[in-house]
Every structure is written in structure tokens, then in C-alpha cells.
């Protein structure tokens, strides 16, 4: 990135993007951009008259955080309405689900962080447990090996679904979407969309 030719190449690349594509890259995929590339993206955002908070979102993905700062982002997420049932009565948290499914020739093991109110998190773990119990165990050998691992994972995750405090799954989720949380911190509807996408809804 030391020569003008490289910068021009990067500029052209971002100029060719649609607004949606540029916003997605800037808010979700800007980790590891060089300072020069960051300047190019920020200039392009400014030129198009897009939300200035997007530039803050780029920076947010490229710095380190204290636990207090992470918890402040967790507060933003946990005060939203539940992405699954829309309830606002309890603070949101996160859980890790593990699902094993065996097919004739192979077994899949999917782990996923889900965000929601405590009862929706329990439901997510219970669904994963049921699916694993029905569809996981019969695959040889991986179904037999993975099924008890997934059952243990869901049971362990359930233990922190009802914590009053943010759990580590929520902290981990928060760090993964920090660019969007920073960009949209004053826009609850946009923030909620991030949670909905995370849950695959």
C-alpha cells in the first residue's frame, strides 16, 4: 500500500461498489484494513453522503477493548426487544447451540451463537437437543462421537441463559458485530436487524 498506484487500485475497487455493498464491507468486514485503505473507504463514504457513523464503525472493528467497553456494547444489544418473540420484559443474553445431524455418508456438527430473551435461549438449546437426539446419534462413527458432545454443550450453555449479567457468549457475539453496533448505536431498529440476522430468522 506504499505507492500511489496501489491506492488508486483500492479507490477504484470501492468506487465500483453499490452503497449497500460499501456499507456492508465498512460495518461488517473492515477488520484488518490498513490505515491507507481505511482512509479510502472513509473518503468514499463521505463523497456519497452516507451516514458518518459508518466511519466510526470501521474504526471500532480495528481496535482493542477493555471488558468494560465490551460490556457497554453488550448493554446496547441486551436492552433491545427479543429478536425471536419481541418481548421486552427481560434483558437479552446469548447462548451457544450445538446440533448434530447424521446423513448416510456423513455427520454435521453446527455450533451457533443465538441472541434472545432467556426463555427463547432455552428453546434454542432444547430444539438443538431434540434434533441431535433424533438425527445425530446413528451416524458411524462421527454421529456417535459428536452427539454426546453436542448434548453436553447445550446443557452447559443453558446454565448461563438466565444470568442477570451478560454472559461470555453475548460478549463474543458483540465483538463479532462491533462495527455495526458502533455505527447503529442510536438506531434500535437497525440494531435489532443485526440480532435477527445472527439468529438466522
User: Which residue lies nearer to Zn ion by CB, 56 or 123?
Assistant: 123
Give Dmax over CA atoms of the chain in angstroms. 59
Name every residue whose Cβ is closer than 8 Å to that of residue 91 and which is 6 or more positions away in sequence: 78, 79, 117, 164
User: Which residue lies nearer to Zn ion by CB, 120 or 181?
Assistant: 120
Closest separation between CB of residue 27 and Zn ion, Å? 25
User: Which residue lies nearer to Zn ion by CB, 134 or 201?
Assistant: 201
Residues that bind Zn ion (CB under 5 A): 82, 84-85, 87, 116-117, 120
Task: Classify 81 as helix, strand or coil.
Answer: coil
* Closest C-alpha to 122, from 90, 76, 79, 100: 90
Cα separation of 201 and 83, whole Å? 8
User: Which residue lies nearer to Zn ion by CB, 116 or 136?
Assistant: 116
Closest separation between CB of residue 91 and Zn ion, Å? 11
Name every residue whose Cβ is closer than 8 Å to that of residue 196 and which is 6 or more positions away in sequence: 83
Q: Are 196 and 123 in contact (CB under 8 A)?
A: no
User: Which residue lies nearer to Zn ion by CB, 54 or 82?
Assistant: 82
**Please, what is the end-to-end C-alpha distance for the chain in angstroms?**
39
Closest separation between CB of residue 88 and Zn ion, Å? 10
Closest separation between CB of residue 16 and Zn ion, Å? 41
Closest separation between CB of residue 21 and Zn ion, Å? 32
Amino acid at each position: 500500500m506504499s505507492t500511489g498506484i496501489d491506492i488508486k487500485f483500492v479507490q477504484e475497487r470501492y468506487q465500483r461498489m453499490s452503497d449497500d455493498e460499501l456499507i456492508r464491507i465498512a460495518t461488517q468486514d473492515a477488520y484488518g484494513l490498513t490505515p491507507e485503505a481505511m482512509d479510502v473507504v472513509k473518503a468514499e463514504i463521505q463523497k456519497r453522503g452516507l451516514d458518518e457513523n459508518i466511519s466510526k464503525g470501521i474504526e471500532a472493528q480495528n481496535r482493542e477493548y477493555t471488558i468494560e467497553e465490551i460490556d457497554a456494547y453488550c448493554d446496547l444489544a441486551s436492552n433491545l426487544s427479543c429478536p425471536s418473540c419481541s418481548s421486552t420484559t427481560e434483558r437479552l443474553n446469548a447462548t451457544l447451540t450445538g446440533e448434530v445431524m447424521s446423513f448416510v455418508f456423513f455427520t454435521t456438527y453446527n455450533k451457533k451463537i443465538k441472541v434472545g430473551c432467556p426463555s427463547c435461549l432455552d428453546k434454542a438449546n432444547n430444539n438443538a437437543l431434540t434434533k441431535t437426539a433424533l438425527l445425530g446419534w446413528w451416524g458411524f462413527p462421527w454421529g456417535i462421537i459428536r452427539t454426546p458432545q453436542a448434548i453436553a454443550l447445550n446443557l452447559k450453555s443453558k446454565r448461563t441463559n438466565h444470568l442477570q449479567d451478560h454472559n461470555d457468549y453475548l460478549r463474543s457475539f458483540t465483538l463479532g458485530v462491533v462495527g455495526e453496533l458502533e455505527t447503529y448505536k442510536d438506531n434500535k431498529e437497525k440494531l435489532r436487524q443485526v440480532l435477527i440476522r445472527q439468529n438466522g430468522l
